[in-house]
Amino acid sequence: MNVNKKYKDSVFTLLFGHDTEVLRELYGALEGTTIPKEVNIKIDTLEDAIFMDRMNDVSFEIGDKLVVLIEHQSTINPNMALRMLLYISRIYEKIINSMEFGKDEIYSEHQIKIPRPEFIVLYNGTDWYPDESLMRLSESFPEGMPLKVSAGLHESEYPSLEITVKIFNINQGHNNDIILRSQNLTGYSALVEKVREYREDLKSELGVSKLDDAGKAETMKKAVQWCIKNNKLKDFLLEHGSEVINMLIAEWNWDDAKYVWQKEAGEDARRQAREEDIGIMLKYGITPENISKELKMPLEVITNLGRRN
Q: For residue range 209-231, what is the model confidence (pLDDT) as tens digits?
A: 888 888 888 999 999 999 999 99
* Together in a domain, 87 and 164: yes
* Together in a domain, 91 and 196: no
pLDDT of residue 236: 94
pLDDT of residue 114: 87
CA 260-265-276 angle, 5° bins = 150
* Together in a domain, 145 and 76: yes
Residue pair 111/96 in contact (Cβ under 8 Å)? The answer is no
Number of domains in the chain: 2
* Together in a domain, 70 and 111: yes
pLDDT of residue 309: 60
> By residue range, what is the domain housing residue 165?
1-181
Residues 6+ apart with CB under 8 A from 182: 25, 26, 28, 29
* Together in a domain, 176 and 203: no
Q: Strands 41-43, 164-169: parallel, antiparallel or unpaired by DSSP?
A: unpaired
pLDDT of residue 99: 77
* Residue 267, burial from CB neighbour count under 10 angstroms (0-12, 13-18, 19+): exposed
* Together in a domain, 28 and 89: yes
pLDDT of residue 51: 42
Beta strands in the chain (DSSP E): 41-43, 58-62, 66-73, 116-123, 132-136, 164-169
* Tens-digit pLDDT string for the chain (309 aa): 333 333 446 888 889 988 999 999 999 999 999 999 999 999 988 765 444 444 557 889 998 788 888 888 887 888 889 989 988 988 888 888 887 766 677 777 788 888 999 999 999 888 888 999 999 998 888 754 444 444 444 555 667 889 999 999 999 889 999 999 999 999 999 999 999 999 999 999 999 888 888 888 899 999 999 999 999 999 999 999 888 988 888 777 665 555 555 555 555 555 666 676 677 667 666 778 877 776 677 888 778 777 766
What span, in angstroms and rounded, lies between the C-alpha atoms of 139 and 147? 10
* Together in a domain, 177 and 190: no
* Together in a domain, 164 and 241: no
* Together in a domain, 66 and 143: yes
What span, in angstroms and rounded, lies between the C-alpha atoms of 166 and 70? 10
Chain centroid to Cα 277, Å, comes to 34
277: three-class secondary structure by DSSP: helix
pLDDT of residue 52: 45
Q: Strands 116-123, 41-43: parallel, antiparallel or unpaired by DSSP?
A: unpaired
